[in-house]
Amino acid sequence: MTDIERVGVVGCGLMGAGIAEVCARAGLPVTVVERDAQAARSGRLRIARSLDRATAHGRLTEQRREVVAARITLVDQIEALHDRDLVIEAVAEDERLKAEVFTRLDSVLTDDRTLLATNTSSIPVIRLASATGRPEHVVGVHFFNPVPALRLVELVPSLLTSPDTVARAERFVTGTLGKEVVRTRDKAGFVVNALLVPYLLAAVRMVESGGVTVEDVDRAMVLGCAHPLGPLALADLIGLDTTRAIAESLYAEFREPQYSPPPLLSRMVEAGLLGRKSGRGFHRYDEETQRAAEAPAGPHGGTR
C-alpha cells in the first residue's frame, strides 16, 4: 500500500501531461502547475488529446475518460501544491530552472514528509536536492514518453535520499501506477540515456560527415536492426534541444568524446529546428504529425 493520495506535477509539456494522466488514471487527484494561464490551457488541451486517443482506441470508455479528466486540475500558481503528498517536477531539461522549481516548492509545502521527485533525463539528482532544505525527501523518478504507454521508470536516489523516500517512491510507481522500476545510481544519464544518447549522436555525426542521408540512416536502422524508429527520427521525437541538453550533461560529467554534442545538432537547436514539436528537425512534420508526436513510443525527459 502507498500513503500517497494527492499528487502535484510542475510542468505540462509532453512528460508532465503524461505523468498527470497516468496518476489520474490510477484514481488520484492531480494538480498541475504551469508558468501562466496560457500554458495551462495548452497543457489541458494536450491531456485532452491524449485521453481522446485512448478513448478512440478503446483503452478508455467515454465515461471513464470524463472521470479521469475531472481528476486533473490545471493552475498557474505553485502555491496550489502546498498540501500534496508527492510533487513531480517535469519542466524543461535546464538545471537552473529545475533548481528554482525545487527551491520554490520547498517554501510552499506544508508537510515535511512530502516527496519531491524530478523527472530529469540526465541531471544528477543531488544538484536539485541541494536546492531544498529537505534533500532526504528528493528522488529521481524518470518516466519515458509516452508515459501512458511505456512501463519503465528509472528510480534515482541521491547520496542524501533516505531509504524511506526510496521505498515510498517505489511503492507508488509500482503499486499505484503499475510501472516497472529500474534502480540506478545518481550519475548523469542514469541507464537509458547513458546508452541511448551516444547512439543518437553517432547518427548525427554520420550525417554531418556527408557520407549518408538522413533518410538512409533511419531506414538502415529500422530495416537492418528492427528498430521501431531510426535514430534521427527518434531524436526529433525526443526534441533536439532535449537531446543536446542531455548530451551536454553527460559530457560535463564524464568528459568522453562520445557524449559531446556535434556542431550540426547545436546549429539546428540554435535555428529553432527542434524536431516534431517545432515542425522540422532532421525530418519535416505537418500539423497532424506534430500532434501525433505525443503518442508514439520513444524515451525522452522533461520537455515543455
pLDDT of residue 236: 97
According to the model, what pLDDT value does residue 211 have? 84
154 is catalytic: yes
Task: Tell me if residue 256 is catalytic.
Answer: no
Instruction: Return the pLDDT at 286.
Output: 83
Find cell 500513503 and name the residue.
3
Take residue 48 and report the three cell numbers written for it. 485532452
- Residue 245: strand pairing partners: none
Q: Report the alpha-carbon distance of residue 25 to residue 12 in Å, rounded.
A: 16
- Of 140, 258, 251, give the one whose Cα is nearest residue 204: 258
Residue ranges of domains in the chain: 7-183, 194-292
Q: Which long-range contacts (CB under 8 A, 24 or more apart) does 257-264 make?
A: 258/198, 258/201, 258/202, 259/197, 259/198, 259/201, 260/201, 261/201, 262/201, 262/204, 262/205, 262/208, 263/208, 264/204, 264/205, 264/207, 264/208
Q: What share of the chain is helix, strand, coil (3-state, %, to 5)?
A: 50, 10, 35
Report yes or no: 140 and 120 within 8 Å, Cβ to Cβ. Answer: yes
Pick the CATH number of 194-292 from 2.40.50.140, 1.10.1040.10, 1.20.1260.10, 3.30.1540.20: 1.10.1040.10
**From 93, 193, 249, 294, active-site residue:** 193
Task: Walk along the chain (304 residues) and give the pLDDT tens digit of each residue.
Answer: 679 999 999 999 989 999 999 999 999 999 999 999 999 999 999 999 999 999 999 999 999 999 999 999 999 999 999 999 999 999 999 999 999 999 999 999 999 999 999 999 999 999 999 999 999 999 999 999 889 999 999 999 999 999 999 999 999 999 999 999 999 999 999 999 999 999 999 999 999 999 899 999 999 999 999 999 999 999 999 999 999 999 999 999 999 999 999 999 999 999 999 999 999 999 999 866 555 555 444 444 433 3
Q: Is 21 a catalytic residue?
A: no
Interval 217-228: pLDDT, tens: 999 999 999 999
Residue 18: HSE in the Cβ half-sphere, 13 Å Cα cutoff: 28
Q: How far apart are CA 278 and CA 289, in angstroms?
A: 11
Confidence (pLDDT) at 298: 41
Give the CATH H-level superfamily of domain 7-183. NAD(P)-binding Rossmann-like Domain (3.40.50.720)
User: Which one is catalytic: 122, 142, 170, 294?
Assistant: 142
Point out the catalytic residue in the list 50, 121, 122, 145.
121
Is 193 assigned a catalytic role? Answer: yes
Catalytic residue of the set 154, 170, 248, 294: 154
Is the distance from CB of 1 to CB of 169 less than 8 angstroms?
Answer: no
